[in-house]
Chains A and B, each alone.
Chain A
């Protein structure tokens, strides 16, 4: 699915140079469920942003589905991103002024899909994550777990091949956190590649492989034995 080769990210301000990622080599296969762990500031989120094409690497190669996208323009990246990658954030990032349904539909809005089909797909995915009864509610009227379910629905409604989840359970209590993890797991079982940043070892256990980052380096990669 994707391959990072000698990939580095350096942030520069006037006086300091911060190396966020230092010559990282990672390969992720289609259908994998990968957890990325590490202490705060180790470069997890930077890695996720680069993988999600929201940020570009300072050097190195990024092969996504057999294309080296490292030098692509923003518009090209945006094009690849919107067809292939879905995002789930710690703070949900739902738009307060839009209803649940509209928030999910947003992911299809920029895809040239006719309105009727959009409606159908949104309805289907709302059923799937169990939020259909809240379709016309505003995000502020939902619990955290429900909001994250909406975010999940939004991430998958476009039939994205890969979902990037940045601490998806970080703002949730354990019951809701587990609910979301189970949802991700079932998505993975249906074939969606999932890359997740998390602090929780328990939630990392849902993944088949865990990558540990420290100071911009890959420290260990643990492969969980198949069940």
Chain B
């Protein structure tokens, strides 16, 4: 009997080639998409699970609740917090460690590079188990002049030589020290939130003199602070007591703490299990870009939807085709087959078909996974020996085979032989036809919604990248690193030489450059105002040429003047405590709104006050208002800014040029290397760095487009199959109509309309759903495209679906309509 089933199954597979092809193709594409997405999702969900202590490692986060602005959320902690928490939570926390990536210049012989070296505490070796190639991490991190490097770095500097014992010189923040390589570890896998090439021990005294903010000061957050809970300790015991810790355990520098307020009103500590970090990024300070739970959810849903669409094809085609099998079923029943036997026979056939689909799907996965891995920036391989993968495969086939096959099998096995064998009756019930249209509507609703979503993500990305940044992004080269030792002393000479290059229009020093995400704030008060509440305003130190180089619009007042001494940022040298300094200042438009100064014209002449340390204060008269410039990601709100004319904290030189950018960069590099040969030269084109901010969105948009395209493809495959079967089923009707005088066009129109209807209804379902979902998605962007832009996208998606459906059905319809009617009418 089984042999008979298998024979019939294979013969049917080959006999109905179109049907089999459509199903296998649809399933193959669907399963491939599903597997690819599963690989991605699984990877995202398994970050940092490989550490032995994965379950008990947490990271401490710091959030500042500054009055008058949205909370400043970071995933980093203050340097002294390390000791503070281990003492305060002595019973709960076993080890804690800091990571601080200082990006030193690493010099070996005459080679010098920027490297991602992290300063860390010895406990790192207790908390994290690194995959060591040689040497010992514990020993290394206990020694102040040992360095642990990864395999890549070992290869880069030492090639095939043994790196152990080699010496490299690290220069950063006033520190210059020779380190001996005493450990080499395998490169961190991609599925961890940690990211560094090398580790050295934190020696706080190294930075005490000028850079104590790095590790020893409470006011600065710049360390990734991980801690390991003691065995069996419930994390609750720490998380529930963070406020208490803030109020008791920390010497917070909140001089302005008013009566009735507690430190925990301003600073919120929290912690997060290391395994949760990748998908629950909360704020700034990550070692590398994290993933997003949103994407994981979106892509998982897409995978499920594509699979649903493919399963629906399966179901639809099988029921549509069932009439053709009616006679076989009837005969089997006459010969004594039970319904259950038939049910299993047909389920078996659909599982066989699903298996064929799976084989195609796996081929597709193999073919596309290198490209896919590359595109999503992960090293993903589909392993066939992995039990999880195997269970996914088996699960998918069974799910699709059974979900897609159970209904048709139930219908077919339920045929009544007497009716079927009476020939002239159609064995199909109107119920299954209605179900089919319902399913087609559902398929197309999904496809249309996905197309709209892809268009919207793409549209938002285009909108965000093309938004007017308030300055001219074209022809700007930004050069970071000018504060590095070796260059900082020569800033003036460097700029002068650059300006002498032909093609250089202008050049300006500034603290920040576009798209860094850096933030430096000062607390501002308004003298004589009713409240003494301070307002946090961003500080961007600039030079005389900044406004003209970036081509920022002056809204009112004047720019800095070299002849006005008061324009320059005054030095505090020799100024007694309690005294008030004076200066002129430029601010941006958003600052006016924050300060409540009305229009730019009205703001000119108003005075704001900041502290300059040791109870000194500084009053600054607003002399000019600049238009808002979006240096920071447009994903964030525009921030208020003031622009001190101060030469002490420049980090970047920006050059406006004309002509060939690459050649210009080379010329600037030559000057840099002559002036500061030990400092690596870096540069970026501002247009590119702005675009880079959106690589994530672009990636999402592209993936969404690809997968929604696949969804539409699979849905159309189904539609094509269905159209052929319907045309088959309606042959008689078409014959009659033709005899009655219908032309080919009439018939084509008839069939097109039959399939346009479900697509049109699908639009009515997809639009509101997509509009609702996407409008709430857009809410998250401070700068977002107009909601009404979604409407043409809806109409476009609907039109695309309709046109594809027409194209799919039309050719077939024309073929059927051209057929001679008598064949249909005579021999039924």
Q: Which residues of A contact B825 (CB under 8 A)?
A: 89, 91, 93
**Pair B822/A107 contact, Cβ less than 8 Å:** no
Bound complex: CA of A75 vs CA of B741, how far in Å?
9
Distance (whole angstroms) from the CB of A177 to the closest CB of chain B: 18
Bound complex: CA of A81 vs CA of B738, how far in Å?
10
A78-B820 contact, Cβ under 8 Å, with A91-B424, A93-B825: no
Q: Which residues of B contact A166 (CB under 8 A)?
A: 826
In the complex, identify which listed stretch (B269-277, B319-327, B395-403, B729-737) lies at the interface while the others stay far away.
Answer: B729-737
**Pair B820/A111 contact, Cβ less than 8 Å:** no
Which residues, 105 to 130 on A, are CB-close (under 8 Å) to B? 106-107, 109-111
Identify B826's interface contact among A45, A96, A111, CB under 8 A: A45
| Number of residue pairs spanning A and B whose beta carbons lie under 8 angstroms apart | 52
Identify B740's interface contact among A89, A91, A110, CB under 8 A: A110
**Pair A49/B822 contact, Cβ less than 8 Å:** yes
Q: Is B742 an interface residue (CB 8 A)?
A: yes
Q: Which residues of A contact B424 (CB under 8 A)?
A: 91
Per-position binary interface string of chain B over residues 385-412, scored 1 when its CB falls under 8 Å from any chain A CB and 0 otherwise: 0000000000000000000000000000
**Pair B822/A54 contact, Cβ less than 8 Å:** yes
**Pair A93/B736 contact, Cβ less than 8 Å:** yes
The chain A residue sitting closest to B826, CB to CB, is A45
The chain B residue sitting closest to A96, CB to CB, is B426
Q: Which residues of A contact B736 (CB under 8 A)?
A: 93-95, 106
**Pair B741/A95 contact, Cβ less than 8 Å:** no
Q: Which residues of B contact A45 (CB under 8 A)?
A: 826
Identify B741's interface contact among A81, A91, A97, CB under 8 A: A81
Q: Is A82 an interface residue (CB 8 A)?
A: yes
Distance (whole angstroms) from the CB of A11 to the closest CB of chain B: 12
Q: Which residues of B contact A81 (CB under 8 A)?
A: 739, 741
**Pair A75/B820 contact, Cβ less than 8 Å:** no
Considering residues A52, A54, A96, which has the most beta carbons from chain B within 10 angstroms of its beta carbon?
A54
**Pair B822/A110 contact, Cβ less than 8 Å:** no
**Pair B733/A97 contact, Cβ less than 8 Å:** yes
Identify A78's interface contact among B426, B733, B738, CB under 8 A: B738
**Pair B820/A93 contact, Cβ less than 8 Å:** no
Q: Is A55 an interface residue (CB 8 A)?
A: yes
**Pair B828/A106 contact, Cβ less than 8 Å:** no
**Pair B821/A54 contact, Cβ less than 8 Å:** yes
Distance (whole angstroms) from the CB of B428 to the closest CB of chain A: 10
Q: Which residues of A contact B741 (CB under 8 A)?
A: 78-79, 81-82, 107, 110-111
**Pair A75/B743 contact, Cβ less than 8 Å:** yes
**Pair A55/B738 contact, Cβ less than 8 Å:** no
Bound complex: CA of A111 vs CA of B741, how far in Å?
8
**Pair A54/B740 contact, Cβ less than 8 Å:** no
**Pair A106/B820 contact, Cβ less than 8 Å:** no
Q: Is A87 an interface residue (CB 8 A)?
A: yes
Bound complex: CA of A79 vs CA of B736, how far in Å?
15
Bound complex: CA of A95 vs CA of B734, how far in Å?
9
**Pair B742/A110 contact, Cβ less than 8 Å:** yes
Q: Which residues of A contact B740 (CB under 8 A)?
A: 82, 106-107, 109-110, 154
Considering residues B739, B746, B821, which has the most beta carbons from chain A within 10 angstroms of its beta carbon?
B739
Distance (whole angstroms) from the CB of B681 to the closest CB of chain A: 77
The chain A residue sitting closest to B739, CB to CB, is A87
**Pair B732/A93 contact, Cβ less than 8 Å:** yes
Q: Which residues of B contact A52 (CB under 8 A)?
A: 739
Q: Which residues of A contact B738 (CB under 8 A)?
A: 78
Distance (whole angstroms) from the CB of B790 to the closest CB of chain A: 38
Q: Which residues of A contact B821 (CB under 8 A)?
A: 54
Distance (whole angstroms) from the CB of B276 to the closest CB of chain A: 58
Bound complex: CA of A49 vs CA of B740, how far in Å?
14
The chain B residue sitting closest to A46, CB to CB, is B822
**Pair A91/B822 contact, Cβ less than 8 Å:** no
Per-position binary interface string of chain A over residues 57-89, scored 1 when its CB falls under 8 Å from any chain B CB and 0 otherwise: 000000000000000000100110110000101
Bound complex: CA of A54 vs CA of B820, how far in Å?
7
The chain B residue sitting closest to A109, CB to CB, is B740
Identify B822's interface contact among A55, A75, A111, CB under 8 A: A55
The chain B residue sitting closest to A166, CB to CB, is B826
The chain B residue sitting closest to A106, CB to CB, is B740
Which residues, 729 to 787 on B, are CB-close (under 8 Å) to A? 732-733, 735-743, 746
**Pair A55/B739 contact, Cβ less than 8 Å:** no
Q: Which residues of B contact A75 (CB under 8 A)?
A: 743
Distance (whole angstroms) from the CB of A10 to the closest CB of chain B: 16
Bound complex: CA of A173 vs CA of B424, how far in Å?
17
Identify B828's interface contact among A54, A55, A91, CB under 8 A: A91
Q: Which residues of B contact A82 (CB under 8 A)?
A: 740-741
Bound complex: CA of A119 vs CA of B578, how far in Å?
102
Distance (whole angstroms) from the CB of A102 to the closest CB of chain B: 12
Q: Which residues of A contact B426 (CB under 8 A)?
A: 96
Distance (whole angstroms) from the CB of A62 to the closest CB of chain B: 16
Bound complex: CA of A109 vs CA of B426, how far in Å?
26
Distance (whole angstroms) from the CB of B569 to the closest CB of chain A: 85
Q: Which residues of A contact B742 (CB under 8 A)?
A: 109-110
Distance (whole angstroms) from the CB of A181 to the closest CB of chain B: 21
**Pair A93/B735 contact, Cβ less than 8 Å:** yes
Distance (whole angstroms) from the CB of B630 to the closest CB of chain A: 61
Which residues, 780 to 828 on B, are CB-close (under 8 Å) to A? 820-822, 825-826, 828
Q: Which residues of B contact A95 (CB under 8 A)?
A: 732-733, 736-737
Bound complex: CA of A14 vs CA of B742, how far in Å?
32
Which residues, 155 to 195 on A, are CB-close (under 8 Å) to B? 166
The chain B residue sitting closest to A89, CB to CB, is B825
Bound complex: CA of A154 vs CA of B820, how far in Å?
20
A54-B743 contact, Cβ under 8 Å, with A49-B822, A89-B825: no
Bound complex: CA of A63 vs CA of B780, how far in Å?
78
Distance (whole angstroms) from the CB of A213 to the closest CB of chain B: 17
Q: Which residues of A contact B733 (CB under 8 A)?
A: 95-97
Q: Which residues of A contact B746 (CB under 8 A)?
A: 110
Distance (whole angstroms) from the CB of A69 to the closest CB of chain B: 15
Q: Which residues of B contact A91 (CB under 8 A)?
A: 424, 825, 828
The chain B residue sitting closest to A53, CB to CB, is B739
Per-position binary interface string of chain A over residues 1-21, scored 1 when its CB falls under 8 Å from any chain B CB and 0 otherwise: 000000000000000000000
Q: Which residues of B contact A54 (CB under 8 A)?
A: 739, 820-822
Distance (whole angstroms) from the CB of B432 to the closest CB of chain A: 14
Q: Which residues of B contact A110 (CB under 8 A)?
A: 737, 740-743, 746
The chain A residue sitting closest to B735, CB to CB, is A93
Distance (whole angstroms) from the CB of A4 to the closest CB of chain B: 18
Q: Which residues of A contact B737 (CB under 8 A)?
A: 95, 106, 110
The chain A residue sitting closest to B736, CB to CB, is A93
The chain B residue sitting closest to A81, CB to CB, is B741
The chain A residue sitting closest to B424, CB to CB, is A91
Considering residues B426, B740, B743, which has the most beta carbons from chain A within 10 angstroms of its beta carbon?
B740
Bound complex: CA of A176 vs CA of B820, how far in Å?
30
Which residues, 325 to 379 on B, are CB-close (under 8 Å) to A? none
Distance (whole angstroms) from the CB of A90 to the closest CB of chain B: 9
Bound complex: CA of A79 vs CA of B742, how far in Å?
9
Q: Which residues of A contact B739 (CB under 8 A)?
A: 52, 54, 81, 87
The chain A residue sitting closest to B733, CB to CB, is A95
Bound complex: CA of A106 vs CA of B742, how far in Å?
9
Per-position binary interface string of chain A over residues 122-154, scored 1 when its CB falls under 8 Å from any chain B CB and 0 otherwise: 000000000000000000000000000000001
Bound complex: CA of A75 vs CA of B744, how far in Å?
9
Bound complex: CA of A107 vs CA of B739, how far in Å?
9
The chain B residue sitting closest to A151, CB to CB, is B736
Per-position binary interface string of chain A over residues 26-70, scored 1 when its CB falls under 8 Å from any chain B CB and 0 otherwise: 000000000000000000010001001011000000000000000
Q: What are 6 sample pairs from A and B whose C-beta atoms fall under 8 A apart? A: A45-B826, A91-B825, A93-B732, A95-B737, A106-B740, A110-B737
Spell out B's residues near A (CB within 8 Å): 424, 426, 732-733, 735-743, 746, 820-822, 825-826, 828
Q: Which 3 A-B pairs have the closest CB atoms?
A: A82-B741, A110-B741, A54-B822
**A-B contact sample (10 more), CB < 8 A, given A78-B741, A109-B742, A166-B826:** A49-B822, A52-B739, A78-B738, A81-B741, A89-B826, A91-B424, A95-B732, A96-B426, A110-B737, A110-B743
Spell out A's residues near B (CB within 8 Å): 45, 49, 52, 54-55, 75, 78-79, 81-82, 87, 89, 91, 93-97, 106-107, 109-111, 154, 166
